[in-house]
Amino acid sequence: MTVAEAEAAIGARGKIVVTAENRGLVRKWFVAQGLPALFVGGLSMRELALAYNDTTGEQYTRLLRKYEEAKDAAGEARRSRIRLSRQTRQSRQRRARATATQMVTPRPCSKCSAKP
């Protein structure tokens, strides 16, 4: 659906009340504007109405900033998970090496003081 098709189906910008019935069309309008559907799906009806009805573009710009911040936060969270995963993997490898070394190291006989 294009921006013009969505606007024709929803109505003129500036006067629309976003309801459960037209929320899907408003979301399609945002997706046609270039925002990802996953992000648009998380917007409240109030955010949808404010940005759709604002003809100056100020509210839409605010949503773009919100999207960029969310994208940056998601990227940082992903980098953090990767870092944690790497640390966990390295820790496991160290424990495995230590356990393998302990298994190979000869120990004194428990019945006598002689070394094997």
Each residue's pLDDT expressed in tens, for the chain with a length of 116 residues: 888 888 888 888 888 899 899 999 999 999 998 888 888 898 899 999 988 898 888 988 898 888 888 888 777 666 666 666 666 777 777 777 777 666 655 666 666 665 55
DSSP per position, the chain: --HHHHHHHH--TTSPPP-TTTHHHHHHHHHHHT--HHHHTTS-HHHHHHHHH-SSSHHHHHHHHHHHHHHHHHHHHHHHHHHHHHHHHHHHHHHHHHHHHHHHS----SSSS---
Q: How many domains does the chain divide into?
A: 1
Domain presence at residue 98: yes
Structural domain containing residue 89: 3-104
Domain presence at residue 45: yes
Domain presence at residue 62: yes
Domain presence at residue 116: no
Domain presence at residue 113: no
